[in-house]
Amino acid sequence: MKNYDAIVIGGGPAGSTAASVLAMHGRNVVLLEKEKFPRYHIGESLLPFGFFTMERIGMLAKMKGSQFVKKFSVQFITTDGRSSVPFYFHTHLRHEAAQTWQVLRSELDQMLLDNAREKGATVIEEITVRDAIREGSAIKGVKAVDKNGEAHEFHAPVTIDASGRDAFFITRNGWKIRDPYLNKIAVWTYYKGAKRDPGIDEGATTVAYVPEKGWFWYIPLAGDVVSVGVVAEKDYLMRRTKDLKEIFYQEVDENVWIKEHLAIGEQFGPFRITGEYSYRSRHCAADGLILAGDAFAFLDPVFSSGVMLALRSGELAADAAHAALSDGDFSAERFTAYGAEFCKRIESMRRLVYAFYDHKFSFRDFIRKYPQLAGSVTDCLIGNWLVDFDPMYEAMREFAGNIPEPLQHGKPFIAESAAVQMEG
């Protein structure tokens, strides 16, 4: 049995960031990760505003010294191969953050985990959290099992769940609420020697449409490797076959640009698949508990928002935990502002994701009609999510009828009022 100020479950970007920030606050924090790093993970394209969290936790020099491909823009390609004008981040953001990276997640996550260690966090790999330790309504620690099957208990007044899409607490508490519309699957693989656009566009993320509410990502990585995958609804992708390779090539035939870019490359490694239901937890926190990153919410990855949300929420959750430790108050209510800020960021992006999947919407037509709103679109695409996007989404409704209202859930679980509601 070990006592800490704080426990972090999971060593992805959210967890490692949270552990780094808590350690930098001088807190005695332990991070528990079930895998041995480096381990494979999807989620390779970063957003410019991730820069500021990286800067705070001392990761910038490491990123600049890495082999990661520099990313300056994102572009959108129609099914017949026509491209939007690329959204170059530096035309809107006059800051070095405008250049971001395409990463190998095994390497990035190892760097972030090592960084947490360097900052003073205790990091334990190959240990799986299996249970929570509760006292009344409060989370007071976790029970975990190491690779030898040995059981351990970790005690702390505050726990940050950053367990990714395993979503430890969401799953145990039945808190997962799926987005009714964003229910896709992804099939992807890797290529060596595929075509890269020249100059500044070499590291661009390309999002290329397929006809039925779907899209390809094309992400150039270091070592002349390209990550390429297709995302669409399951019934559409599996309409002819369930074989992943056949599904992949059936869709490559649906986009001229993708087909041409892959033609000179060589596919390697497995074809992979994952479900991609977007979801958000009913609650962002409880007494002694904060959820961060995908362990709180997952949003369709079309605009590469996941790692940025994970970094920022890890940072915010750690600050909230530090303040709770300072005040000796770990009640769920005090994490209200944390949840509200996280949800606001997600909503900024979620509305754009809905517009993207509307058949009538195209970036090209939207910007042609509203050139003055190109800056707002870029703000959203770079992760500057706290600005006011209402005027942009008002204008977008002309092109996309399905732009949603904000979801109401994601507030802390207040044990007393929940009990009263249940009695009522």
Ligand X SMILES: Cc1cc2nc3c(=O)[nH]c(=O)nc-3n(C[C@H](O)[C@H](O)[C@H](O)COP(=O)(O)OP(=O)(O)OC[C@H]3O[C@@H](n4cnc5c(N)ncnc54)[C@H](O)[C@@H]3O)c2cc1C
* Site residues, ligand X (CB under 6 A): 9-15, 32-35, 41-45, 128-129, 162-166, 168, 186, 274, 276, 293-295, 301, 304-308, 310
Nearest-approach distance from CB 308 to ligand X, in angstroms: 6
Backbone angles phi, psi at 144, to 5 degrees: -140, 160
Nearest-approach distance from CB 342 to ligand X, in angstroms: 12
d(CA 198, CA 311): 30
d(CA 18, CA 13): 8
Q: Which is nearer to ligand X, 262 or 414 (CB)?
A: 262
Distance of CA 411 to the CA centre of its chain: 19
User: For the chain, percent helix, then strand, then coil, each to nearest 5?
Assistant: 40, 30, 30
Q: Which is nearer to ligand X, 350 or 373 (CB)?
A: 350
Nearest-approach distance from CB 135 to ligand X, in angstroms: 21
Q: Which is nearer to ligand X, 309 or 414 (CB)?
A: 309
Nearest-approach distance from CB 395 to ligand X, in angstroms: 27
Instruction: Give the C-alpha distances (Å, rounded to integers) separating 393 from 298, 302, 326, 363.
Output: 21, 18, 40, 13
Q: Which is nearer to ligand X, 116 or 400 (CB)?
A: 116
- Count other C-beta atoms under 10 Å from residue 96's C-beta: 12
**Contact status, residue 207 vs residue 217, Cβ threshold 8 Å:** yes
* List of residues 6+ apart from 388 with CB closer than 8 A: none
Nearest-approach distance from CB 79 to ligand X, in angstroms: 20
**In residues, how long is the chain?**
424
Q: Which is nearer to ligand X, 10 or 265 (CB)?
A: 10
Q: Which is nearer to ligand X, 305 or 331 (CB)?
A: 305
35-55 core/surface letters (b: 16 or more CB in 10 A; e: else):
bebeeebebbbbbbbbbbbbe
Nearest-approach distance from CB 417 to ligand X, in angstroms: 28
Strand partners, 215: 209, 231
